[in-house]
Amino acid sequence: MKQFFDDGMHLPSPYGIRLIKGSHIVVPRVHTQKQAYILQNEDKRIVFVIPWMDEFSIIGTTDVEYKGDPKAVKIEESEINYLLKVYNAHFKKQLSRDDIVWTYSGVRPLL
Q: Is the peptide bond before 61 cis (omega within 30 degrees of 0)?
A: yes
Look at 110 and 30; give whichever has higher pLDDT.
30
pLDDT for 8 beyond 70: no
Q: Would you mind telling me the total number of residues written for the chain in this entry?
A: 111
**How many domains is the chain partitioned into structurally?**
1
pLDDT for 18: 86
Domain residues for the domain of 101 are 18-110
22 occurs within a structural domain = yes
As a whole number of angstroms, the distance between CA 94 and CA 88 comes to: 5
Query: What CATH number is given to the structural domain containing 101?
Result: 3.30.9.10
**pTM of the model as a whole:** 0.84
pLDDT band at 2 (very low <50, low <70, confident <90, very high): very low
Q: Tell me whether residue 2 is in a domain.
A: no
Instruction: Check if the beta carbon of residue 29 is closer than 8 Å to that of residue 57.
Output: yes
In a domain, 3, yes or no: no
Which amino acid belongs to residue 26? V
- Encode pLDDT of 11-70 as tens digits: 665 667 889 999 999 999 999 999 999 999 999 999 999 999 999 999 999 999 999 888
